Amino acid sequence: MVGDIPDGVLHHIAGGSMDLAGGLHAAEHAAIGILPLFALCDRADIGGLSTPLHPDTGRPQIFIYDGHPGGVGIAEGGFGVVEKLWDATLSLVSRCPCPQGCPACVQSPKCGNNNEPLDKLVAGTILRGLLGMPL
């Protein structure tokens, strides 16, 4: 099961002084943009949250949740295909030709934090790590 970001990936990011929070946030946005391809919903139906250190798990975490009260199974369906979701998200992030992230890849029109921080390159590193690929 793909769930936690492997420790080796976190050490790689920390050792390279890369922006973990920006990478998580960028990966979250890109995944929310991709999820409708798998879950037959609109990205407006889904919300997300990412944090470099979640108090309940003591680890970096990305949450993607149904925007409808009580949920309609979108996030649950996404979790069932999470490896495909990460793979498609990685393709989006790595193929988008923009240098720093744009609305087509990691920027979100409904971000509550003004799309800050976002780090598209670190998002790619995190996604490759989640998929067990070379960083």
The residues binding Zn ion (CB under 5 A) are: 96, 98, 102, 104-105
Min dist CB 118 to Zn ion, Å, is: 10
Cβ atoms < 10 Å from Cβ of 32 = 25
Min dist CB 68 to Zn ion, Å, is: 28
Residue closer to Zn ion (CB basis): 2 or 96: 96
Residue closer to Zn ion (CB basis): 105 or 126: 105
Q: What phi and psi, each to the nearest 5 degrees, are found at residue 66? A: -65, 135
Residue closer to Zn ion (CB basis): 27 or 74: 27
Min dist CB 92 to Zn ion, Å, is: 8
Residue closer to Zn ion (CB basis): 37 or 102: 102
Min dist CB 99 to Zn ion, Å, is: 8
Min dist CB 101 to Zn ion, Å, is: 5
Joined together, the tokens standing for residue 26 give: 């960028």
Residue closer to Zn ion (CB basis): 26 or 74: 26
Write the DSSP string, the chain. Answer: ---SPPHHHHHHHHHTT--HHHHHHHHHHHHHHHHHHHHSS-GGGEEEEEESS-TTTSS-EEEEEESSTT--SHHHHHHHTHHHHHHHHHHHHHH---SS--TTTT--TT-TTTT-S--HHHHHHHHHHHTT---
